[in-house]
Amino acid sequence: MIATIQYNSRKLNIDLSKPLDISIPIRHGVKNVNAWYIGPPKIEAEVYDNEAISVAEGASVNFNTITFNPHAHGTHTETVGHITEKPYPITKVFKSSFFLAEVISVAPEKLMKDHIISAKQLQFAIGNKKRDALIVRTLPNMKDKKTMQYSNTNWVYFTEDAIKLLVKKGIKHLLIDLPSIDRERDGGELRGHNAFWNTSGELRLDATITEFIYVPNKIEDGTYMLNLQIAPFENDASPSRPVLYKILE
């Protein structure tokens, strides 16, 4: 099914029958992607009167209780409320869920004991393109990103200058295949988060960061329409499902 989306003064056509899902689902157990030093998510049948409410156990329905942390388990989208005293629920951010997006692939640079994504790399990949959203695929792009246990790995992160560049370019929605845009252990400075949401000035309340995506290698770098779907949690972060659509010529 072909849909036409109005973007500024342009009309863009996308094929809704060919979605490109770049989310990592939450699944029960240790094979779920994980970070931030907590255990895996749990999806288990609720127990009532010492009996599991599960069809396999003789109940008439399945009735699972799910225990997880949106920041640690699976693809999630977060607001400035992640780092502010005042709450800013994710459900209050979006006026639209469709955004013009650019997919780029970046091989992180080595900086002493770290691996980083620099402003120079982002400038080279984006150039002068004007986009609402940026989707960053780090290289190498292995399928183990979908089950990686990131705690204590000193993962790749963005320099503060790199994030400031994205803000200058007007990027409102940043999507990454990492647990955070910041260094795993930075003493709580969160320079990237603070720069992205401009906590030293007027807060960018309509800006979001989506972490733990996975962009399959079959998806080429380039321009797409992004449909950023969230679960309706009244929280600073929510599990999310970013879906890309090719823009038809």
| pLDDT tens per residue across span 79-101 | 999 999 999 999 999 888 999 99
| Eight-state DSSP code of residue 205 | T
**Is 1's pLDDT higher than 90?**
no
Over the stretch 35-65, which tens digit does the pLDDT of each residue have? 999 999 999 999 999 999 999 999 999 999 9
CA–CA dist 106, 124 (Å, integer): 10
**Is 217's pLDDT higher than 80?**
yes
Question: Which tokens hold the place of 13?
Answer: 């056509």
What's residue 100's pLDDT? 96
**Is 118's pLDDT higher than 90?**
yes
Over the stretch 133-164, which tens digit does the pLDDT of each residue have? 999 999 999 999 999 999 999 999 999 999 99
| Three-state SS annotation for 126-172 | HCCCCCCEEEEEECCCCHHHHCCECCCCCCCEECHHHHHHHHHCCCC
**Is 249's pLDDT higher than 80?**
no
What's residue 96's pLDDT? 86
CA–CA dist 40, 27 (Å, integer): 9
Distance set, CA 42 to CA 51, 78, 178 (Å): 18, 22, 22
DSSP string, 35-84: -TT----EEEE-EETTEE--GGGT-SS--EEEE--TTTSS-EEE-GGGS-
Domain ranges of the chain: 2-27+70-248
Q: pTM of the predicted model, to two decimals?
A: 0.96
Contact (Cβ atoms closer than 8 angstroms) between residue 155 and residue 131: no
| CA 127 and chain centroid, separation | 22
> What's the CATH code, domain 2-27+70-248?
3.50.30.50
What's residue 57's pLDDT? 94
Q: Tell which wins on pLDDT, 222 or 96.
A: 222
Q: How many percent of the chain have pLDDT more than 70?
A: 100
